[in-house]
Structure 1
Amino acid sequence: MEVSRPYFFGDIGCWAERTEVHKAAFQGHALLLRQLIESGASVNIVAVDSITPLHEACMQGQTQCTRLLLDAGAQVDARNVDGSTPLCDACAAGSLECVKLLLEHGAAANPTLTSRTTSPLHEACVGGNSDCVRLMVAEGAHLEAYDLYFGTPLHIACANAHVDCAKVLLNAGANVNAARLHETALHHAARRKSVDLIEMLLEFGGNVYARDKYDRKPIDYTRPGSPSALCLEFYERTPLSLQQLSRVSLRMALGTRALEVVSKLNIPSRIIKYLCYC
């Protein structure tokens, strides 16, 4: 068996090229990984890019290997060279089971962000993994966590045209008009020509007149006469009804507590469904 020659590196563990432990975790070879662990191999050994075996397992959604590593004492919030944690990798891979395991072992839902990192919630939105988004929201992931390149998770969901992820975020109370350099989620939806996203954002109170740093409205990113342009034109010409405005105002006032509070109101179920966008 090929064996790397690591050296100790502070409190993190050891430093080496990809080891057999990394390879077994990445490839999902649970039996081999168990044997390596039982023979004394370090589960916190890091490669030159600071990737641990736990990162490797989570990148590939290898649930069994993830469990073995965590049970053997793998550092649940270890950071790679870009600052990403295993939870970021599991969310990016869309591995709901790995995400659950990491959270059960104390993984931080909101790790500190740097100029090079995104949050686990951002990563779930990049991949369009709505189940992971839903779980992270339930775990208290910050809806307005800010990535320097894209902005909030809602920005990323819309930039990638992931309608289901956007709906989860909006229903959880994400700010529909949050801006990065004056650019809103609606600008992203218009660029992607996603009528479904455009309509949903507008129903949640998106500002059809918002202008970005280039002084462009969302409609300026559409082709005249296209379905997305016609949709935005309609909303520019037709103000929201009093009924819709009341729903938007209530939801914005309640913020992240909206679904919890609305479901307990002593009002007809049809109104509750309307307020919850059901």
Structure 2
Amino acid sequence: MEVETARPYFFGDIGFWAERTEVHKAAYRGQVSELQSLIQSGASVNIVAVDSITPLHEAAARGQTQCVRLLLDAGAQVDARNVDGSTPLCEACSIGNFECVRLLLEYGAKVNPMLTSRTTSPLHEACMGGNADCVRLVIAKGASLEAYDLYYGTPLHVACANRHLECVKVLLNAGVRVNATRLHETPLHHAAKSNNVDMIELLVEFGANIYARDKYDRKPVDYTRPDTPSAHYLQLYESNPLSLLQLSRIALRTLLGARAVDVVAKLDIPNRLFLSAISLHCHKGALQI
């Protein structure tokens, strides 16, 4: 079999910088037999294109699980970075391919790669695409809940800005800081801008500060449309401060994070108080008990 030979013009850490090769194309298209033949013929699985994309990036970005496994078994570098600093795990999280994400993690992909001014974390990517299963998986593998991106903020900012309620639930139950800020803007500001009342209610009940002001000195309610459920909800909370019971729930959740339900269940307190302490975790299916 004739293997395409690219003309290299720079020798990098993991191979030659070249035009997109047949290995890249086979990985992208999910052509397992073709890719296997190329590898057996001596083609490099770590050759990179002009944008630093490896065949593993191509396969992960398209959710080609069989090609991902084939490349990894042949020695592909699992944490290779493209020109933007994105790893194959970031690509798989972005499209929400659970099996690809699981496979890359199984082969040692870093769940918290070093971030740069051009890089988002795998958790950011999963939240951006609304892939709740992938969000759960990378969190279970130790993804940083507070990973900070210069343009987007935390993963919770990203989930709220993109209106992915299920991802917001997963993050909150994992113990994310609900009042994290980017340029003084909180996740609640994003939820208010989208007039998503379910998300607003969930964030508030997990302790979101309705009085927080962004760089324009605007509160979340200032971004809601008049006479909408979102505006009415935030106005109601402004005129009726949280009860002592609600404040206690928030304090407990803030202190214990994702351990709250397990820890509270072991306390020697009356059942009615236990149910009260965890009730907000169950709000709108945020947590199944």
Give the TM-score taking structure 2 as reference length: 0.92
Give, in whole Å, the separation in 1 of the partners of 2:68 and 2:164.
27
Show CA shifts across 1:38-76 (max 9, x none).
Answer: 111100000000000000001011100000001111000
Contact 1:251 1:275 (C-alpha < 8 Å) held by counterparts: no
Indicate the larger mover: 11-20 or 136-145.
11-20
Give matches, 1:138-217, under 5 Å. 138-217=140-219
What code does the residue aligned with 1:177 have? N
Task: Please report the RMSD computed on the Cα atoms of aligned residues, expressed in angstroms.
Answer: 1.6
Aligned identity (percent) is 69
SS of alignment partner, residue 230 of structure 2: helix
1:110 alignment partner AA? N
Is this contact kept in 2: 1:144–1:153, CA < 8 A? yes
How far apart in 2 are the matches of 1:5 and 1:163?
A: 46
1:242 to partner: Cα distance: 2.0
For 1:275 and 1:144, how far apart are their aligned partners in 2? 22
- Cα separation, 1, equivalents of 2:139 and 2:14: 29
Q: What SS does the aligned partner of 1:116 have? A: coil
What is the Cα deviation at residue 2 of structure 1?
A: 7.2
In structure 2, relative to structure 1, the CA distance for the partners of 1:43 and 1:231 (3 Å cut) is same
TM-aligned CA deviation for residue 261 of structure 1: 3.1
SS at match of 1:33: helix
Residue 5 in 1 paired to residue 6 in 2? Answer: yes
Correspondences of 1:86-97 after superposition (within 5 Å): 86-97=88-99
Offset of residue 260 of structure 1: 4.6
The equivalent residue for 1:66 is 68
- Deviation of the 1:6 alpha carbon: 4.0
2:224 matched residue in structure 1 = 222
Q: Distance in 2 between matches of 1:52 and 1:264?
A: 50
Q: How far apart, in 1, do the equivalents of 2:88 and 2:57 lie?
A: 5
Any unmatched runs of 5+ in structure 1? none
Indicate the SS of the match to 1:276: helix
Where do 4+ consecutive residues of structure 1 move more than 6 Å?
A: none
Where does 1:39-118 land on structure 2 (aligned, <5 Å)? 39-118=41-120
Mapped contact 2:192–2:200 kept (Cα < 8 A) = yes
What is aligned with 1:120? Answer: 122
Contact 2:185–2:214 (CA<8 Å) still a contact in 1?
Answer: yes
User: Which stretch shows the higher mean deviation, 109-118 or 228-237?
Assistant: 228-237
- TM-score when normalising by structure 1: 0.95
Q: CA deviation at 1:165?
A: 0.3
The aligned residue for residue 244 of structure 1 is: 246
Question: 5+ unaligned residues in a row in structure 2: which ranges?
Answer: none
